[in-house]
Amino acid sequence: MAKRVLVLGGDGFCGWPTALRLSAQGYQVDIVDNLSRRNIDNELCCDSLTPITPIATRIATWRQLTDEDIGFHRIDIATEPDALLRCIEQTQPDAIVHFAEQRAAPYSMKSAWHKRYTVDNNVSGTNNLLAAVIECGRDIHIVHLGTMGVYGYGRVDGAVIPEGYLPVQIETEAGWQKTDILHPADPGSIYHTTKTIDQLLFYFYNKNDNLRITDLHQGVVWGTQTPETARHPALINRFDYDGDYGTVLNRFLMQAAIGHPLTVYGSGGQTRAFIHIRDTVRCIQLAIENPPKSGERVDIFNQVTETWTVAELAQKVADIAGAEIRHYQNPRKEAAHNRLEVERGKFQQLGLNPTTLDQGLLEEVVDIARRYRERCDDARILPSSRWTRNQQLDSEGSSGQTPPASAAG
């Protein structure tokens, strides 16, 4: 079993609770992070709704509570490949969990600069990691956080999205031959595109060098705390609510808490997959403890527990917290309606027993959204990124704000 784990991006929303969970379960954990997410808060003039503490305070608090040491290495994995290699050689991990990417689709679509930054950061970071693992000569299991968005949310209506590989038949001279291919990629933003490129990098390094890789195609994460982050106020996890980084359900919870209309984009018929942060950290531990064998193909899991339409989410939050639902012109280019059927048996077989929306929503409203609502800057709620140039020009014509849509679309 893996004993030493390097968590790349371990200061972030998914990475921090994962680092604590693994430390609490007896792993020796080291975090690598360049703190770029905290700098992006400065760029966007926004802050986590929850009051997060500096990384040094987080780690010192954990040590005081548990006597467990978590190492911290401030390295940019996209631009400092030598430092990353030295860190791997020094810490000698059995597994590396890779969260260290720019993960917001709206941020990736903000401008030409943001598109370049997201591609450079994410693709170089992943390639640097893979090349460093080869160079160090150790048999390290890599666990990567991918996204459901690589599949395109049910491009073929009524088809179930498999866990990574699509069985197909190809016509040959000798008749029809069966094979498995990576599910065709159909990204919906520059950010999602980087995740599809990551997939190809994994495919190549696995085929060429027998690297052991698990790619977790995760849905939208909601919730804030895990048992470990809830142990002390200085360990609290971040909660993004702004138009770039806030994900839909957490945004709705915060909007309800401050009396802002729930910002449904377009029709609300977009179906997406969801998972609670507590289940994210459980899934990652399960993935570390069930690595593929050397020579096996990249192991792909769909890391999702439920699917809902955006309109259904808004209705659930409105029912619990008494909010108004409002439809806004969609700042994105995406299907107004889609069905989404997702295969999700692999984590269930490994024993995942998920937290559902119906169990967890009220706790989130009371413990987080209402408790910290005074910290919300309501100027940061409406989206400021647009997917296309025409949408951008339209929004500039209407002073940059996304207007409510009478005819949603």
Interface residues with ligand USQ (CB under 6 A)?
A: 103-105, 147-149, 219-220, 247-248, 251, 263-265, 270, 272-273, 310, 332, 334
Would you count residue 15 as binding ligand NAD (CB under 6 A)? yes
Out of 27, 117, 153, 191, the active site residue is: 191
Element (H, E) at 47: none
Nearest distance from C-beta of residue 398 to ligand NAD, angstroms = 29
Q: Which does 15 bind (CB under 5 to 8 A by kind): ligand NAD, ligand USQ, none?
A: ligand NAD
Residue 17 vs 331, nearer CB to ligand NAD: 17
Pairwise CA distance, residues 164 & 195, whole Å = 13
Query: Does residue 147 carry a catalytic annotation?
Result: yes
Nearest distance from C-beta of residue 342 to ligand USQ, angstroms = 9
Would you count residue 291 as binding ligand NAD (CB under 6 A)? no
Nearest distance from C-beta of residue 63 to ligand NAD, angstroms = 20
Residue 28 vs 126, nearer CB to ligand USQ: 126
Nearest distance from C-beta of residue 136 to ligand USQ, angstroms = 28
Would you count residue 130 as binding ligand NAD (CB under 6 A)? no
Pairwise CA distance, residues 147 & 195, whole Å = 7
Q: What is the largest CA-CA distance in the chain?
A: 69
Please enumerate in sequence order all residues whose Cβ is within 8 A of that of 250, keeping only pairs 6 or more positions apart, or say none.
222, 223, 224, 239, 240, 241, 364
Out of 18, 50, 126, 147, the active site residue is: 147
Pairwise CA distance, residues 110 & 383, whole Å = 10
Report how far apart, in Å, the C-alpha atoms of 389 and of each of 104, 110, 327, 332 are.
19, 10, 22, 11
Would you count residue 385 as binding ligand NAD (CB under 6 A)? no
Would you count residue 188 as binding ligand NAD (CB under 6 A)? no
Which amino acid belongs to residue 129? L
Nearest distance from C-beta of residue 371 to ligand USQ, angstroms = 21
Pairwise CA distance, residues 117 & 224, whole Å = 27
Pairwise CA distance, residues 273 & 341, whole Å = 9
Report yes or no: 257 and 267 within 8 Å, Cβ to Cβ.
no
Question: Is 275 in a helix, a strand, or coil?
Answer: strand
**CA 325 to mean position of chain CA atoms:** 26
Q: Which does 310 bind (CB under 5 to 8 A by kind): ligand NAD, ligand USQ, none?
A: ligand USQ
Q: Which does 34 bind (CB under 5 to 8 A by kind): ligand NAD, ligand USQ, none?
A: ligand NAD
Count each helix (H run) and each strand (E run) in the chain, helices first: 13, 16
CB atoms within 10 A of CB 389: 8
Would you count residue 314 as binding ligand NAD (CB under 6 A)? no
Residue 9 vs 106, nearer CB to ligand NAD: 9
- Out of 20, 44, 59, 77, point to the residue binding ligand NAD (CB under 6 A): 77
Report yes or no: 34 and 75 within 8 Å, Cβ to Cβ.
yes
Which amino acid belongs to residue 50? T
- Out of 35, 83, 258, 405, point to the residue binding ligand NAD (CB under 6 A): 35
Q: Which does 166 bind (CB under 5 to 8 A by kind): ligand NAD, ligand USQ, none?
A: none
Query: Does residue 229 carry a catalytic annotation?
Result: no
Q: How many residues bind ligand NAD (CB under 6 A)?
A: 27
- Out of 5, 12, 30, 364, point to the residue binding ligand NAD (CB under 6 A): 12
Would you count residue 354 as binding ligand NAD (CB under 6 A)? no
CB atoms within 10 A of CB 353: 9
Q: Where are the alpha helices (DSSP H) in 322-381?
A: 345-349, 357-364
Would you count residue 147 as binding ligand NAD (CB under 6 A)? yes
Classify strands 165-172 and 175-182 as parallel, antiparallel or unpaired. Answer: antiparallel
Q: Which residues sit at the interface with ligand NAD, rule CB under 6 A?
A: 9, 11-15, 33-37, 76-78, 99-103, 121, 125, 145, 147, 218, 220-221, 247
Active-site residues: which are they? Answer: 147, 191, 195
